Structure 1
């Protein structure tokens, strides 16, 4: 169970975006981004927020920028920090989704080589996910992306 209060707030904003309140979610993400210190903030907060912020962007270039921020922050994370926050995944479990999102951005921008590169990274790290609902959702996304890039 997630115990980190900022991650809980980010999760609440994600729920707003899933309910169609994308603009409200984007404003909350921006507010939290400022609170955590932006690029200088805790890598777990930056990774989580940037990963979610990417999903509420209307411009694919902005989406790509946020997805790149999420990946860069993930590279600074440790399993101990993730566990301390109550996140039920090891750091390795974050990469399939991060790379899948980057693949999708590059596909939308027409950079199919980069899209395939991130798809390969996602496929190479998928073993870190369990056979639960989340893992299956990411696996299905990888299958769809592979099909789109054929």
Structure 2
């Protein structure tokens, strides 16, 4: 990923993350964007040059169709963590996400990792299906209900 691609990604990433956290009921709408921005700043203090973070532009026929952010896990140094995999709407449901996950596995192996992990929001059933189809297994489940 180039710096320009990273800048494009970052321009919408915090808003998207904030929206997902609100949808999941984790954050309230008033503070969501601020919290998301703080999270990105904490995780990427040096932007695209932050050590142990790897950014990829996903292309199909020379057209940008998505992005992948892979990083060394904070919890397990032998594991890569997929912080973000996003396929643009016009290119979803075409197998691109599944192929990107296969390539992420290959890249993580080449970087020396022995495992790969990610987080998925509970309301994102389509992504959960793709991840499980790609060999990911559920390791933790948080449950919540309104009172």
Q: Same fold (TM over 0.5)?
A: no
Structure with greater proportional strand content? 2
Structure with greater proportional helix content? 1
- When the two structures are superposed, what TM-score results if normalisation uses the length of structure 1? 0.35
- When the two structures are superposed, what TM-score results if normalisation uses the length of structure 2? 0.35
